Structure 1
């Protein structure tokens, strides 16, 4: 059985993470702190580019690209051919959504109320142009999306089910696998935004039952900003035609016609940062060595301890929903805007996040939330850091 990492193990990991020495970081859901080895992998490749030429250094860099792909496949229990390396979760999600092709009047897209605002923007633009509709799946009493309610909504016009697995505005974890069972029974494409899940939760794409899954590597994986993962189920790939192709995704054949790749790399570009891929490969290897189950156990323990102590501070309201919860801890302080809480804590060297309605409008508007303060933890987070955060919040809540 997985268990939280020991204090000695956490101390060793922190010693190899320069940022832990200079900041009290509670914005791991925005972007976490990379290790020295991840930084060195990027620096070494950039130096190789500077001393041998960027194109010449690309040979070694491409080896790291394929290493990252193999490691990402292990992480998600996928085949390497089902993995594309992207520049982030939103670019991967947007590329896959656009590749579904044109929408028709009357077609329906079903989303949970926690859907990321960027995804909603893309869906709404396409739906408005075509006369399609976006409808919200009801939530259960815990606040999570309700699989039974989803099944009751289905008909032949439903063309896509979209789910943000872990919302950006709090600790709720949606039942992604239960939604996948419904989607598979009815043969409806299922697209998951796993930006906050990848690297924080064990992710098995076969168990989840999704056709497409996207992830951001700068968050729980502690990879470099500007890297992401896109999983496309092998049997689903033929249904996706990228809106943009180039010499990597669809090279010209002997007859001069473009030939789409037969793997997920049809969503990759010929122009990519190989230095970032070097850093990503190292970050993936570190996460796998630690063990995602161990990471999950540590994060769950730390986040729950923080929630309990926050709830005991007068004037503080913990806003997390769900029966199962993540390392994102949402709260508000009475009389203070979340952005102000963020700024005041930053003045004390404590970094948190704050989200507005645009992040998760379908959830925040019904709950009457205009902003939330968000303290997101990592397996690197220590009890002393939590004490520092709580002291800062107590001072503001007076």
Structure 2
């Protein structure tokens, strides 16, 4: 890797030269097992911003500090979401076939743009999300939660990741989008592969785009009271590419974040008797529980990506125009500068980074939370004596660059 392929080399402020052989990779075997150890090691070595390599040894800056994350997220004039200014891509060092492109590359959607184009496109998304939320998200979540539970309720055992959390949000989204229910599982698996990265990411992204392109064409002919029809009919006048790309954006983001957060919340309920007893007694509500998980296990550990619009300094590092920055949401939530003791509960504190911040803050967070709260409520009522079937120490996770997902959650219950 030559000097032109690296983020700007730093020589001071706790930010050493970025292009040496020891630059940390945010992918591969080490990153897949314990990314939190990597974040803390990088924090000790570099401070609040660290040089890293993404898939294909693509250079980036990982933002580790809470305040530095907020600075990047809150300032689109300095840190743009428009990857057309990404120097390594612009200069041909990142191929169109890179597995990073589905996550970082430019698309005609609101996430890829700033200013007035962003406001126009985001308005279409938020208007229709609010409309959909008023049409029975909790009713859909109740229906599909019961349907998922029916498949294993007579067995006395289940894996609440594979049998419940992994597909439930997508099944709700199929109803919201106006898709056929049978397409939910395929879309859930493809969404997971896009987040995972690797050689199959582009193939699965194309599969998603194909299904959603057919959906948009059908809804132009046969509109209904669904999210897709709402985008088509919105006064912002989205063109075909904008409609399909926003369907993709909401589908992948809402499903992957909600399924991950649902699994992690169930993990907390089943491994910490204080939380479970608080729920059962009514002393705690599910919103409080979900908020705790969003601090400790945000569904996206690393958020892609921002691009420096000019040479500037961040966390003591001289970032150059066109450099890629990725936002360490999990690392920021555990920043000792703002949270000296991560073991202390953060009840009542909603200032976590789990849903991003600034103009690009996730607009669908209330929908995701409604799905999670409804799903857990149904589960606890349907399965008496629900308990973990293994010791908490046996639970494992697998990480990609962007997220860390619980592998399984084996449980037992009375029949």
What TM-score, normalized by structure 2, do the two folds share? 0.29
